[in-house]
Chain A
Amino acid sequence: MRKLDEKRELLYVIRTMDVLMSSGVGLEAALHTIGKGGYGIISEDFSAMMKRLRKGNSGGLGPELKSQMKIAESAGYKRLLNTLYTNVTQNTDLVETLKKQGTRMEEDRSEEVEKYIEELGGVPETLLSIGMIGPIILAIVGLVPQLMSGDLGAFMSLPEPAVINSVVNIGLVVTLMGMALIGLKAHTKDPGL
């Protein structure tokens, strides 16, 4: 969930930092502005970081950014934090790097959406295969004790109806779980637009 939230907000954070820092605002002030809210989980992270810095409990902005890198889950957010850390330690051209990173993030996002659409192409077919074939077979299995009663029952011995009912019930639950697991792909692979 955190990874998805990070991916969803990251590009906006980069663009805002770009605007702020191109106008001459310092890095700490830019982090403080984003920490004030509007950028979801990244705002929360930056706000907590600024609070710790104000209290004086940390070793400065550099170590704070470094420890934040360990918490970050998405590659893009880690890259942004690393860029900020490098700027703090080596005085790099942050605005230029942010611009490049923004462009790269946008390209990545487009690729991820294309990949998502492509990967979900097979989901309906798989979902329908499991969701339709399973119940059809189980319905026939469930009807066997009724259909094979009377004279037909003399030709072959059938399990107890309770056993057949249990098999059908378990089969239906497994089918549902299979459908849910296939559908989970739609959630886990979401590009976070």
Chain B
Amino acid sequence: MIFGFLESFNDSALLLYIGVIAIACAGGGIPPMLERRRRRAIENELPTFLEALSDSVGAGRGLQEAMMEQSEANDGPLAALLGETLKEGHASSFEASLGAFAAKTRSSQVQRVMVLIETAIQQDSSLRDILADLSRDYERLNDLMNRRESELQGRGILIILFVSVGLPVLIAFIVGLFAPASKGFQISSFNQTFSYFFAAASAVGVSVSGRMMGRFKDTLWWLPMWMAVSMGLYLGAVKVVGG
């Protein structure tokens, strides 16, 4: 059955090539999604964590002690990762542990914070004020990032669904109803042109949607899949409706 289905698309080699590329790329697209979810969870915890550190340091605790306490008192990916890194880093210096923690989070926000904390330690600055300022800065930044994502996500999905799914099916119905191949209409060249157009339009739609949400590179992995979906939907629906 699968071979029979695939053979019905034998005339459109591009669809088959893109289909194979799409399967391969989907494998590459899942890790960035999971990684992003993990990174955003860490980044969203960062302001609360910094605020708690600021309070502890203000109460007279050392930074290392405060970090250890906070990692034990909280749960979540940030606290777990910090606790793990501090325990592993017993044999090395505190600065090295901070560097290792920043690298493990793979978050530019955490890395910037750790660099600033290290600089503040080296320069003997007031850690309490710096941590409180950083907490406020990153809270606002994360609020903005979350807001951008929540407000633009729906619009991004709308673009993809209409351009990659709705439009090919709609045109396929028009073509299949008015010029069915079963009644002798010669539409193979027309179908080829329009299937290429839908692939290109899907690529544009998915890219715009990804850029709107600020994750263009991650979205690129899914580009061949949406191109194949729109081409396949169009050619499949034309065959189903028009014979």
Contacts and interface: CB of A to CB of B under 8 A. Distances in A.
B174 A23 contact: no
Nearest to B142: A193
A139 B147 contact: no
A135 B119 contact: no
A94 interface: no
B21 interface: no
A5 B62 CA distance: 36
Given A19-B130, A176-B200, A117 B208 contact: no
Interface string A1-42: 000000000011001100110111100000001000010000
Given A124-B155, A183-B207, A193-B144, A132 B162 contact: yes
Contacts of B147: 113, 117
A187 B167 contact: no
Contact of B174 (A109, A121, A136, A168): A136
A117 to B, nearest CB: 5
A169 B193 contact: yes
Given A15-B133, A193-B145, A23 B125 contact: yes
Interface in B137-193: 137, 140-141, 144-145, 147-148, 151-152, 155, 158-159, 162-163, 166-167, 170-171, 174-175, 178-179, 185-187, 189-190, 193
A106 B138 CA distance: 11
B205 A127 contact: yes
A193 B146 CA distance: 11
Interface residues of A, number: 48
Contact of A131 (B141, B167, B212): B167
Chain B interface size range: 35 or more
A136 B148 contact: no
Given A113-B148, A132-B162, A186-B212, A19 B119 contact: yes
B125 A127 contact: no
A142 interface: yes
A110 to B, nearest CB: 6
A25 B119 CA distance: 11
B49 interface: no
Contacts of A140: 174
Interface string A112-147: 010011001101100110011001100110110011
A146 B194 contact: no
A127 B208 contact: yes
12 contacts: A24-B123, A33-B119, A123-B208, A127-B208, A131-B163, A132-B166, A135-B167, A136-B170, A136-B171, A139-B174, A142-B190, A168-B193
Interface of B: 111-112, 115-116, 119-120, 123-126, 130, 133-134, 137, 140-141, 144-145, 147-148, 151-152, 155, 158-159, 162-163, 166-167, 170-171, 174-175, 178-179, 185-187, 189-190, 193-194, 197, 200-201, 204-205, 207-208, 211-212, 214
Q: What are the 5 tightest A-B residue pairs by CB atom distance, in nearest-first order?
A: A183-B208, A23-B123, A23-B125, A186-B211, A172-B197
Given A120-B212, A123-B212, 11 more contacts: A11-B137, A22-B126, A38-B115, A106-B140, A113-B144, A121-B155, A127-B205, A165-B193, A169-B193, A176-B201, A180-B204
